[in-house]
Amino acid sequence: MKTVLLSVLMLLSGVYASSQTPVYMDESRPLDERVEDALSRMTLKEKVAIIHAQSKFSSPGVPRLGIPELWCTDGPHGVRPEVMWDEWEQAGWTNDSCTAYPALICLSASWDPELSYLYGKSIAEEACFRNKDVLLGPGVNIFRTPLCGRNFEYFGEDPFLTTEMSLPYIKGVQDNGVAVCVKHFALNNNELNRHTSNPVVDDRALHEIYFPAFKAAATRGDAWSFMGGYNLFRGEHASYNPYLMNEVLKGEWNYGGAVISDWGAVHDTPSAVNGGLDMEFGSWTDGLKAGQKNAYDNYWLANNYLVGLQDGTYGEDVLNDKVRRVLKLTMRTAMNRNRPWGEMVSDAHRQSCRQIGAGGIVLLKNDKGLLPVNPAKHRKIAIIGENAIKMMVVGGGSSSLKAKYEITPLEGLKARFGKVADIVYARGYVGDVSGEYNGVTTGQDLTDSRSKEELLAEAVGCAKSADLVIFIGGLNKSPHQDSEDTDRLDYNLPYGQNELIETLYDANPNLVVVNVAGTGVAMPWAKKVPAIVQAWYGGSEAGNAIADVLSGDVNPSGKMPYTLYATLDQCGAHRLGDYPGTKTTDRFGNEMWDIPYKEGIYVGYRFTEKNNLKPTFPFGHGLSYTTFGYGKAVLDKTEMEKDGTLKLTVPVTNTGSVAGKEVVQLYVRDVKSSLDRPVKELKGFSKLEIAPGATAIAEFEITSDMLSFYNPASKSWEAEPGTFELLVGSSSADIRSKAKFTLK
């Protein structure tokens, strides 16, 4: 069908004046050759038209040449429902419901690259089915503060984990002919004042903490497009920041893909032209009114740019570079005749959603062996908490979805245990009763007029009468929780949940707390409560995934992708007092917030370890229903040449009675360095599946880049000769074995 449509377009436009297929349409020819051929045939107006939107989520292509439109979609957790041509309102389609996949932070918590590839492949299949070309994700910004409203869309606090878990996602998407759009480059670490934030970051922190995942996406991942952020950096907006886009991304990293603006992130023509931006979406410039004919010609990279090209203000070489990148993106996606048709909400997607959701759930604590649930002993189970019944797919900002279905935790637990145990439910608290975002509704009516006292009395009564209490609370995706465009107001659980958990524990100490959230929260009750589970926004299969883990049908194997601080003061961004920054003005006299990143490279566990702080749960922590014994870490050599490699092996034995998966984590410590370095840094991990009594070998290859730091004086990465220590363990705070070697 795609081939026929393109052929008809070309016949109508006269492209087939001869029987020979044009070079740009011949997919057997090299991509760069096709791009140059198409570029040579385009008029100046067509070149300008192709680099800005024609609707909310599409650009026009070149109809005269049969070059099709390019359609984008949010991302990154599922394919967003259709909106009106140039409005955010819903288009009212009845066939645009999707599979809602777990939040990316859940994927990261799996520490499983194979699940990451499956995630990317599955979501791309749904994008193909809906004829989408660019998926606006993944987001690879670093957790700097647990208050950031968009943390749930990212991969956590560590650059290595973020890199290694995002790359398979990128490959899975693009193997299906859909482009990723890696975002938000760079330093989109808070949603408060996001359009005016101006992070002040030293070069070392940039290169060691905030750049690595983006660099890997551009180089190792060959991501076909990047998205800039709303924020500023060094006083210039990120989407067309000369340093970020020209000097680093397209210069130092030699990136050949297209740079797309965030929606409405462009503010003037000269900066957008010269700052490395290739495509403009979502702007509302003067003269652009809803429904106005050709209103998109008023974008900053539209008529203003065309006039400047015609009068010599701008050179065509810069324009041609932009067009080349957009043509390359189009040829890889919309013009790819071999792209699969895809499928939507299939049985395979239901299963992959459930598998990813369960794979990311983290068992934080299980002191009394309350889990897995034992129906023979737990004949009556009380489920308490609003998050047990609240649908979470709708809300949170641009990642909000119109899911074909959503299994709530209560539904999942009833389906699993309803025939073997008496399940009772009490709400416990009333939080967010809404279920609407951008015209999509969950269909739930959670209105509850009972008083706080009545809700508490019901919950306590249920708890006292039960053999086991499972409290399912946490955050939700309403404003000032896990939500785009707002940060959280504080670190505590909302709606009085901390007090409720304490009361439930007093009523029945056989208490399991399931925390549904996309970022860290205070857990002042953590030492009391015997069992704590970190769940996430699990998408369509959320309830089934939680039931799989609580029942033991799936042995939990997730590990924390961020440090779960005891208090906000354990986070460097807050302990050093520079959040949310100081109000000032940019070069145009507009409001701007300078945010000094005073903690530098000391983000997350790097900060807590440097300052001897004990978090509630450390980075990399996660338990299992079995136990694992670590043997001695063995190096094949004790000395390493400058450009050489070492091999490290560690035997790991399942010392329990059930099969399980263990994430073996490798940290590197530089014993003596000319620059201050963290106590240790994650540089490898291996997820092993091990049968009871069996032993598996974790293998790691040690290379010099794993030992390097960024030297701001020389503007280069350096690995200094000397002694290094390799630390292998089950978390950043649970090191089981060590080995030393010398870098010559």
CATH of the domain at 661: 2.60.40.10
pLDDT > 50? residue 4: no
Q: Give yes or no: residues 738 and 682 share one domain.
A: yes
For residue 267, the enclosing domain spans: 2-332
Residue-wise pLDDT for 215-240, tens only, equals: 999 999 999 999 999 999 999 999 99
* 263 shares a domain with 388: no
Q: What is the secondary structure of 458-506 as a DSSP string?
A: HHHHHHHH-SEEEEEEE--SSTTSS-TT---S-SSPSTTHHHHHHHHHH
What is the predicted pLDDT for the residue at 15? 53
In a domain, 590, yes or no: no
> Which tokens in the block code for residue 283?
């702007």
Identify whether 619 is part of a domain: no
Residue that the structure tokens 């708890």 belong to: 463
Same domain, 258 and 169: yes
Amino acid of residue 686: S
pLDDT, mean over the chain? 95
Whether residue 245 lies inside any domain: the answer is yes
Q: Are residues 370 and 327 in the same domain?
A: no
Domain membership of residue 617 (yes or no) is no
On whether both 374 and 324 belong to a single domain, the answer is no
Beta strands across the sheet bearing 422-426: 362-366, 531-535, 511-516, 468-474, 380-384, 422-426
| pLDDT value, residue 17 | 43
Residue 20 has pLDDT above 90, yes or no: no
Per-residue three-class SS string for 452-466: HHHHHHHHHHHHHHC
**286 pLDDT tier (thresholds 50, 70, 90):** low
Task: Pick the last residue of a domain from 551, 571, 593.
Answer: 551
**Confidence band for 12, pLDDT divided at 50, 70 and 90:** low
Residue 243 DSSP class: I
Comparing 678 with 283, the larger pLDDT belongs to 678
> Tokens 């192709």 belong to which residue?
50
What pLDDT does 18 receive?
A: 46
pTM of the model: 0.96
Catalytic site includes residue 262: yes
* Same domain? 444 vs 528: yes
Closest by CA to 232, choosing from 581, 486, 573, 571, is 581
Write the CATH number for 421: 3.40.50.1700
Last residue of a domain, one of 332, 350, 378: 332
pLDDT in tens, 385-422: 999 999 999 999 999 999 999 999 999 999 999 999 99
For residues 478 and 370, state if they share a domain.
yes
Domain count, the chain: 3
328 and 366 together in one domain: no
Residues 412 and 293 in one domain: no
Please indicate, yes or no, whether residues 320 and 377 belong to a single structural domain of this protein: no
Question: SS in 3 state form for 503-522?
Answer: HHHHHCCCEEEEEECCCCCC
Residue 162: partners with Cβ closer than 8 Å, 6 or more residues away: 108, 140, 142, 154, 155, 156, 212, 213
Domain boundary among 528, 551, 574: 551
Q: Is 614 within a domain? A: no
Assess contact for 233 and 184: CB atoms under 8 A: no
From 505, 471, 479, 482, select the one nearest 387 (Cα to Cα).
Answer: 471
Cα separation, 561 vs 571, in Å, equals 15
721 inside domain: yes
Instruction: Choose the catalytic residue: 158, 262, 297, 578.
Output: 262
Residue 328 and residue 370 in one domain: no
Residues 429 and 521 reside in one and the same domain: yes
Cβ(663)–Cβ(607) below 8 Å: no
pLDDT tier, 577 (very low <50, low <70, confident <90, very high otherwise): confident
Domain presence at residue 597 = no
| 499 Cβ contact list (under 8 Å, min separation 6) | none
Q: How far apart are CA 590 and CA 632, in angstroms?
A: 59
**Angle formed at CA 521 by CA 520 and CA 523, multiple of 5 degrees:** 130
Confidence bin at 87 (pLDDT 50/70/90): confident
Contacts of residue 412, defined as CB under 8 A and 6 or more positions apart, other chains included, come to: 542, 543, 544, 545, 546, 547
Residue 595 within a domain: no
What is the per-residue pLDDT across 685-699, written as a single tens digit (0 to 9) for each?
Answer: 999 999 999 999 999
